[in-house]
Structure 1
Amino acid sequence: MGEIGTRDGDAADGVLAVLELLAKEAPQSAYDTLLDEAHGAGTDPDRLAGLTRAVALARSVRASASRRKQREAALTALVDTAHDLTSPYDIDGLLRLITRRARRLLGFDMAWLSLSRPDGSAYVRTSEGETTALNIGLELRTGSGLGSIAQQRRSPVWSADYLNDDTIVHAPGIDAVVRAESLHAIIAVPLRRGDSTLGALYGADRRVRRFTPDEIGLLLSLADLAAVALEKARLLEQTRDEVTELAAFGTRTNTALTRVRYLWECHARLAGLVLDGAGLATLAHATADALDGVLQVRDPGGRVLTVTGELPELDEESVTKAALQALTGRRPVRLSGEVWLAPVLAGAEDLGVLLLSASAPLAEEDVRLLGLAAQSVASLMLIQRGTAAAEGPVHDELLADLLERPHSFDLRLSERTRRLGIDLDRPHVVVVARPEGGELGRAVAWASSYAYRMGGLKGVRRGCIVLLLPGTDASAAAHRVSGELSPLLGHAVSTGAAGPAGGPGEVARVYAEAVRCLDALTALDGAGGTASLRELGFVGLLLSADHDVEAYIASTIGPVLEYDADRLTDLTRTLDAYFASGGSPTHAAEALHVHPNTVSRRLERITELLGEGWQKPGQALEIQMALRLRKTRAVLHARRSTQPHAPTTP
C-alpha cells in the first residue's frame, strides 16, 4: 500500500508541476525541460506516461488559449477598423485605409485593392507595401487572376505559390507585378454588395505558405466592412456632388435673376426715354451703356442715323446677309467677333438695324436686351413719324411763308419758328428733290419724318419736295437726301441744292437757286443725279443770283493763287500761257521766255495743287473760265482806278 501511495503522490506532483507551468504561461521549452528532468531522474514508465499526457493536454489548452487571444485581438482590430470606416473619408482616403488595415491586421507583406467598372473590367486603385510602381493603375482582365475568380465565385480564393500554380488563369500584367515584387502566397476576397461585387481585396506574402481559415475569415470580414464603407462613401460623394451642383445651380439662378432684373430695368429706362421724347442719339447712347459697347443705328438703306463711337471695320456684304437673316428670324444675329446685328421692326415694316460691337461676349440676357432696345428704337421712330405727320401742315405753312413772303418775317413768324424748335438765324441749305417716277405720296411722308429728324422744314412745290435743312454744305445735304430717298422709293431721285442762307430773308433766294440747279441738271441730261452751284461750276455761277465771281475763282484756282502769293511764283501766268498755246509746254515756255523744263516743273506743281484731272476737258474749261474772269476783273478794277473823279459841286 505504501508503494502505491508513493506512486500516486509522485504522479500528482508531476501534474501539479504541469499546471503551474500552464498557469504561469510558460513557454514551450519549459514543458520540454520538465519532461527531460523526468527522464533523467529515472521516473518509472507509468509516471512518465502520465506526465507526458499532462504536458500534451497543457500544450493543447495553451494553444486554444492562444488562438482565442488571437481571435479576440483580431475581433478588436476589426471593431476598430469598422469604427474608423464610419468616419467621413473621400473614396481614395477610404481605400488607402482599407489596404493599410488589411496589411497590418494579417501581417501581409503587401496588400492592394481593385475596383470594378460597369463594363466588367477592373483596375488596381490603391496599394500598400509595394516596392515598385507597377501595381497602381494596373488593368485586370476579366477571367484572369485571383481577383476575377473571387468576384465570379463571390468567395475567397488563394494560392500558396501564385506563379507556380497552374490551376489559375494567369495574365502577363499581373504576373509581371508578382514577379517584380517577389510575391508567392496571394489571397483575394470579393468586396460584396448585395448580389454584385465592387472589386476585390488582396493580401500577399513574399514566401510560400498556406492561409489559415482564421486569416481567410478575418480578411473576408474586413472586405465586407470595406464594401459597406465604400458604398457609403460613394453615396456621400454623390450627395456632396449633388449638393455642390445644387449650390452652383442656385448661384446661376440668382445670377440669371439679377441679369433679368437688370434687363427689365434697362428696358424700362429705354421705354422711359422714348416716352419722354428723347432723340435717337440719346436712346442709342443709353443702349450702348447698358450693353457696354458701341452702337450704330442704320436705316433700311444702310445709311448711318447715329453712332455712339467707333465700330470695327465691317464687311458690308456680311452685314447685308446678317440683316436679311435677322429680318427673317426677327431676332438678333451675331457677326464676326463680338459684333451683333438686331432688326428694327414695326410689324412687318423694316425700319433699319442696330449694330452693336460689345466689349465682352454677350450673355443670353444681353442678346434679349439688344432685341428690346431695337423695339424701343422702332417705337421712337414711329412716334417721330407720327409727330412729323401731325406737325406737317404747320411746317408746310411756315416754309410757304418763307418762300412766298421773304421780306415779311415779323415777330409772329419768328414766334412760330421758335415754337417748332427751328433757329433760322443759323445757316440753312435748301434741297429740292424730284422723284423720277412713282407716286409722290410716299416721298412726302418720308420727307416729313426726315425734316423732323434733321430739325428742318418740308414742303411740296411744283411736284417736288422742298427741304430747308440746317447746315452749310448744300452738296452734301443733296447727296444725303438722294441716298436715303432713292432706296426707299426704288427709283432715281433728282436733287438740286443751294445755300447756305444767312437768315429768313434769304430762304426764297436760295430756293430759287436750288430750283435753277435742278433745272440745269435736267437740261444737261443728268436726271437722277445731284447738282449744287459748286458742282455745276461756271454754270452754277451763271445760275447764282448774286454771281459771286470771287468765290468761283477761289473754288477753281484758289490753291494756285495762294501758292503764287505765298512764294512769289508765276504758276498762274504759266497756266494762262499753257492754255493760250493750246496745251503745249514748249510754246508756253517761249511765251514766258523760260526754259521748257521750267514750264514742266511748274505744271507738275500745278498738278499737286489742283489734282490729277485738271487737264481734262471739263475741269480745264472751268480753269480757263476762272482765269478769264480774274483777268477781266483786274482790267475793270484798273479802269475804275484811272477814271478822273467828277468835280464836287460847290
Structure 2
Amino acid sequence: MTDAETRDADLMLVLELLAEQAPPERFDEVLQRARRDGAAEPDVARLEHAVHLARQVYDWQGRRRRREDGLADLVDTARDLTSPHDLDSLLRVVTRRVKRLLNFDMTSVALLDPEGGLRVRAADGSTTALVAGQEVPAGHGLGHQSLEVRAPLWTADYLHDDALVHNESVDEVVRAEGLHAIMAVPICRGDEAVGVLYGSARTVRHFSPDEIGLVCSLAALAAVAIERAERLEQAWGEVGQLELDSFRTRTSLVRLQQLNEAHSRALGMLLAGADLTTVAAGAGSALDAAIQLRDPGGRILAASGDLGDQDESALAEAVLDAHSQLRPVVTPQGTWVTPVVAGAEDLGALLLRPTTALVGEDEGLLQLTAQTFAIQLLLRRSTDVAEGPVRDDLFEELLAADPRAGRQTHHLTHRAGSLGIDLDAPHVLLVAHPEGGEQGRAVVWASSYAHRLSGLKTVHSGRILLLLPGTDASAAARAVADELTPLLGHPVSVGAAGPGRGAAAIAPMYREALRCLDALTALGGAGGSAAAKDLGFLGLLLSDSHDVDGYVRSAIGPVLDYDRERLTDLTDTLEAYFASGGSPRGAAAVLDVHPNTVSRRLDRIGDLLGEEWQQPARTLEVQLALRLHRSREALRRQRRSGPGPQAEASSIGRPLA
C-alpha cells in the first residue's frame, strides 16, 4: 500500500471512529500507530489535526448530550414543580432535583424574612442539624451578594475566599458540613427578590457556564413554583375560611331558628296567660340556664333553676351598668344581667347563669326574653289598673267601716278573700306622700305594687294609701320610699302603722299612719319614712296602742335586763345621775358610793346603750323611759298593796330631772 493510501486510510479510520462515537483513547491509538509505522511528518501533522478535530466534535457531541439530558431533567423538574405542593414540600423537591442534576453534595433554599435576612427553609445532603433554619444576616455571605447584583455568584473555596463578607455563624455551618465550593443563585419574581438557591460541593470545584445556566433555570422555575405554591396556600386558606364561615353560618341559622321557636313559644305562653314563673322556665330551658326576674327593688318575681351563691354588691353594680347601657352585661362570676325596661321606665332586671358560654344569638334571645317579661309586667299592670276601681272601693269601705258592726266587717273580709287578700293575716298600712313628680305615674305604680304583694291601694287627698301583708311597718315604709322615689325623681314621705289583723284594725292603723306622716312633715323629715316606733316618745303619743312597755324596752331595755340578771343598780345610778344634773360626783353622794364606782357604772351603761346615750335627744328618751318605768313599777306595787298614803308616796317619791 502506498503512503498516500495509508494516509487516506488513517484519516478514514478517524472518521469511522468519530461516527462510531468511539472513546477518545481509540483516536490516540491511531495517532500512535502512524508514528510507529514511520509516517512522514506532514502526514502525522495532518493526522494530529484530524484527531484534534474529531475530539472537538466528540466534546461538542458530549456537551450537546449533557445539555439535552439537562433540558430533559429540567422538563421533568418543571413537571414535578407543577404538581400540587405546599411551600415546604416544593422547596424540598427543588433542592433534591438540583443536587441530582449538578452532582452537588448539598443544596439548600433560603427565603427572605421581613427583616431582610435569609432563613434556610429546605436542604438536601446536609450531615448536621445546623443547616435547617439557619439564619444569614443581611449583608453577609454569598447569597446576599447575589441578591444585590441579581446574578449568580460562586466560589471554589468559600472559607478561603477573602472577597466575601463572612459571618461567623455561617462559617461555622460551612466548616461543620465540610463545604468548599458554593454557588448562590438569586430566586426572583420579576423585580422582587424571594430568596437564594444554594449548591455546594465538599471539594474545591470550578463550575462551568452550562452548570451555572442550568442552576439559574432551576432557580427561575423555583420562583414561579414558589409564587404558585404561595397562591395555592392562600387559596387553600381562603377555601378553609369560607368553609368555616359556611359552617358558622349554617350553625348560626340553625341556632337562630331554635331561638325564633323559643321566642315564639314564650310569646305563645304570654298570650295564653302564663305567669312569670312559667315564662322563666321556658326561657331557662331554651338557654340551658338558671333564670331570675327581679323587680327594681331587687326582690325575686320569678325564677327557674338555681343561680347559686351570688355577690349581691357585684350584681347591684351590674344592674346599674345594664340599665345605663341598655344591654346585657356579665358579672365576674359569669352571671348575665339584662335590663327589663319599657321606654325609660325601669321594670327590673333579668339574671341568667348559663351552663355553657353564650354566643351572639343567645344574647339576642336573652334580650328578647327580657322584652317578653317587660310585656308581661305591663300587661299585669294593665290588669291591676283594670281591677283598680273594685279594689279601691273595697279599701275605701274598709277605712270607713264601723269596727262594732260585725256583719259589715265579716262581709268586707269575705270580699277581700275573693280578691286573694287574707285580712286575718298580719297587715301594715302605709300613707305615702310624693313631694313632687307626676301623681298619675305614682298611682299606676301603686296599683301594680299592691297587686304584686297581694295588698290594696287607694288615694286620699293626693296621698297614696297601701294595705300590705307584713309584720314590720318600718321596713315596708322604707321599701316603698326606696322604690317610688327614683321612679318619680322626687322624695316620697311615708308614714306607717301596724301590724294589725282583721277588718276592724284597718281604720285605726290608717289614723296612726297619717299621724306619723304629719309628724315627719312637722319635724322637717320630708322624704323620710317612719312608723310610731321610729319616732321615740313622740311615736308613743301618736300610737293608738300606747305601747309603753315597748317604748321603755327600746330606750333602756338592756340596762333593765342587766340589773335583773346580775342584781346590779345601774337603773338607780342612771336616775341619780340625771337627778344630780349629770354629775357623777353628785350621783355618788346620793347613792353613798365612791365617785369611781359611779364612773364605772356609767361606762357599763354606755356599753349597753351605745356611745350616743348622753346626746340631748337620746337623754330625753332615756329620762322619759326611766320615769315611765318607775311610775309603772309604783303603780304595780300600789295595786298589790292597795290604796293608801304610803303607796301614793312611793309613786312620786323619786325626783327626776
Normalising by structure 2, what TM-score? Answer: 0.77
State the shift of 1:603 in Å. 2.1
Question: In structure 1, how many angstroms separate the alpha carbons of the residues matched to 2:59 and 2:522?
Answer: 134
CA 1:545 to 1:389, structure 2 compared with 1: closer, same or farther past 3 Å?
same
Residue identity opposite 2:396 in structure 1: A
Q: Which deviates more from structure 2 when the two are superposed, residues 235-244 or residues 537-546?
A: 537-546
Give a deviation string over 1:322-355, Cα, whole Å, max 9, x none.
57854xxx656789998987655434x4335648
Q: Is the 8 A contact 1:485 1:493 kept in 2?
A: yes
CA 1:296 to 1:103, structure 2 compared with 1: closer, same or farther past 3 Å?
same
Question: In structure 1, how many angstroms separate the alpha carbons of the residues matched to 2:18 and 2:426?
Answer: 131
Question: In structure 1, how many angstroms separate the alpha carbons of the residues matched to 2:256 and 2:497?
Answer: 52
1:490-639 to structure 2, matched below 5 A, reads 490-524=489-523, 526-639=525-638
Number of the residue aligned with 1:647? none
Report SS of the residue matched to 1:546. Answer: coil
Report SS of the residue matched to 2:84. Answer: coil
Report SS of the residue matched to 2:464. Answer: strand
State the shift of 1:91 in Å. 1.0
Q: Which runs of 5 or more residues in structure 1 are unaligned? A: 151-155, 164-169, 645-650
Q: Is the 8 A contact 2:556 2:625 kept in 1?
A: yes
Q: 1:218 aligns with which of 211, 214, 219?
A: 214
Q: Which deviates more from structure 2 when the two are superposed, residues 236-245 or residues 77-86?
A: 77-86
Count of residues in Structure 1 that have an aligned counterpart in Structure 2? 620
CA 1:285 to 1:469, structure 2 compared with 1: closer, same or farther past 3 Å?
farther
1:212-291 to structure 2, matched below 5 A, reads 212-213=209-210, 215-261=211-257, 263-265=259-261, 267-268=263-264, 271=267, 274-275=270-271, 290=287
State the shift of 1:473 in Å. 1.0
Q: Is the 8 A contact 1:409 1:505 kept in 2?
A: no
Report SS of the residue matched to 1:614. Answer: coil
Q: Is structure 2 residue 371 aligned with structure 1 residue 372?
A: no
Q: 1:188 aligns with which of 185, 189, 210?
A: 185
State the shift of 1:288 in Å. 8.1
1:415-426 to structure 2, matched below 5 A, reads 415-426=414-425
CA 1:376 to 1:485, structure 2 compared with 1: closer, same or farther past 3 Å?
same
Q: Is the 8 A contact 2:413 2:503 kept in 1?
A: no
1:279-358 to structure 2, matched below 5 A, reads 290=287, 297=294, 299=296, 303-306=297-300, 310-311=310-311, 313=313, 326=325, 344-347=340-343, 349-351=344-346, 354=349
Give a deviation string over 1:463-516, Cα, whole Å, max 9, x none.
532211111111122222233334444544433211101333322232232233
Residue identity opposite 1:245 in structure 2: Q
Residue identity opposite 1:447 in structure 2: A
Residue identity opposite 2:603 in structure 1: E
CA 1:563 to 1:369, structure 2 compared with 1: closer, same or farther past 3 Å?
farther
Q: Is the 8 A contact 1:123 1:140 kept in 2?
A: no
CA 1:147 to 1:350, structure 2 compared with 1: closer, same or farther past 3 Å?
same
Question: In structure 2, how many angstroms separate the alpha carbons of the residues matched to 1:437 and 1:146?
Answer: 88
State the shift of 1:363 in Å. 4.9
State the shift of 1:614 in Å. 1.7
Residue identity opposite 1:531 in structure 2: A
CA 1:572 to 1:281, structure 2 compared with 1: closer, same or farther past 3 Å?
farther
State the shift of 1:245 in Å. 0.9
Residue identity opposite 2:483 in structure 1: E
Report SS of the residue matched to 2:425. Answer: coil
Question: In structure 1, how many angstroms separate the alpha carbons of the residues matched to 2:526 and 2:52?
Answer: 136
Question: In structure 2, how many angstroms separate the alpha carbons of the residues matched to 1:202 and 1:342?
Answer: 65
Question: In structure 2, how many angstroms separate the alpha carbons of the residues matched to 1:37 and 1:390?
Answer: 137
Number of the residue aligned with 2:647? none
Residue identity opposite 2:185 in structure 1: A
Residue identity opposite 1:504 in structure 2: A
Q: Which runs of 5 or more residues in structure 2 are unaligned? A: 302-306, 644-657
Residue identity opposite 1:387 in structure 2: T
Question: In structure 1, how many angstroms separate the alpha carbons of the residues matched to 2:21 and 2:509?
Answer: 136
Q: Is structure 2 residue 97 aligned with structure 1 residue 97?
A: no
Question: In structure 1, how many angstroms separate the alpha carbons of the residues matched to 2:148 and 2:524?
Answer: 98
Report SS of the residue matched to 1:82. Answer: helix
State the shift of 1:254 in Å. 3.6
Residue identity opposite 1:310 in structure 2: Q
Residue identity opposite 1:564 in structure 2: D
CA 1:233 to 1:50, structure 2 compared with 1: closer, same or farther past 3 Å?
same
Residue identity opposite 1:503 in structure 2: G
CA 1:282 to 1:311, structure 2 compared with 1: closer, same or farther past 3 Å?
farther
Residue identity opposite 1:211 in structure 2: S
Q: Is the 8 A contact 1:115 1:199 kept in 2?
A: yes
Report SS of the residue matched to 2:601. Answer: helix
Normalising by structure 1, what TM-score? Answer: 0.77
State the shift of 1:454 in Å. 2.2
Q: Is the 8 A contact 2:409 2:504 kept in 1?
A: no
State the shift of 1:105 in Å. 1.2
Number of the residue aligned with 1:448? 447
Question: In structure 2, how many angstroms separate the alpha carbons of the residues matched to 1:77 and 1:260?
Answer: 59
Question: In structure 2, how many angstroms separate the alpha carbons of the residues matched to 1:34 and 1:413?
Answer: 147
CA 1:575 to 1:294, structure 2 compared with 1: closer, same or farther past 3 Å?
farther
Q: 1:77 aligns with which of 73, 79, 93?
A: 73
CA 1:605 to 1:280, structure 2 compared with 1: closer, same or farther past 3 Å?
farther
Report SS of the residue matched to 1:604. Answer: helix
Give a deviation string over 1:410-465, Cα, whole Å, max 9, x none.
66544432332222232110112234567754443332222122221112335532
Q: Is the 8 A contact 1:161 1:208 kept in 2?
A: yes
Question: In structure 1, how many angstroms separate the alpha carbons of the residues matched to 2:269 and 2:574?
Answer: 60
Give a deviation string over 1:376-429, Cα, whole Å, max 9, x none.
343233223211211111111222232222434666544432332222232110
Q: Is the 8 A contact 1:425 1:502 kept in 2?
A: yes
CA 1:598 to 1:272, structure 2 compared with 1: closer, same or farther past 3 Å?
farther
Residue identity opposite 1:588 in structure 2: A
Question: In structure 2, how many angstroms separate the alpha carbons of the residues matched to 1:338 and 1:256?
Answer: 23
Q: Is structure 2 residue 474 aligned with structure 1 residue 475?
A: yes
Identical positions, percent = 45
Q: Considering only aligned residues, what root-mean-square deviation do their CA atoms show, in Å?
A: 4.8
Q: Which deviates more from structure 2 when the two are superposed, residues 264-273 or residues 511-520?
A: 264-273
Report SS of the residue matched to 1:313. Answer: helix
CA 1:54 to 1:393, structure 2 compared with 1: closer, same or farther past 3 Å?
same
Q: Is the 8 A contact 1:325 1:333 kept in 2?
A: no
Q: Is the 8 A contact 2:477 2:496 kept in 1?
A: yes
State the shift of 1:199 in Å. 5.8
Report SS of the residue matched to 1:469. Answer: strand
CA 1:257 to 1:591, structure 2 compared with 1: closer, same or farther past 3 Å?
farther
State the shift of 1:75 in Å. 4.2
Residue identity opposite 1:473 in structure 2: D
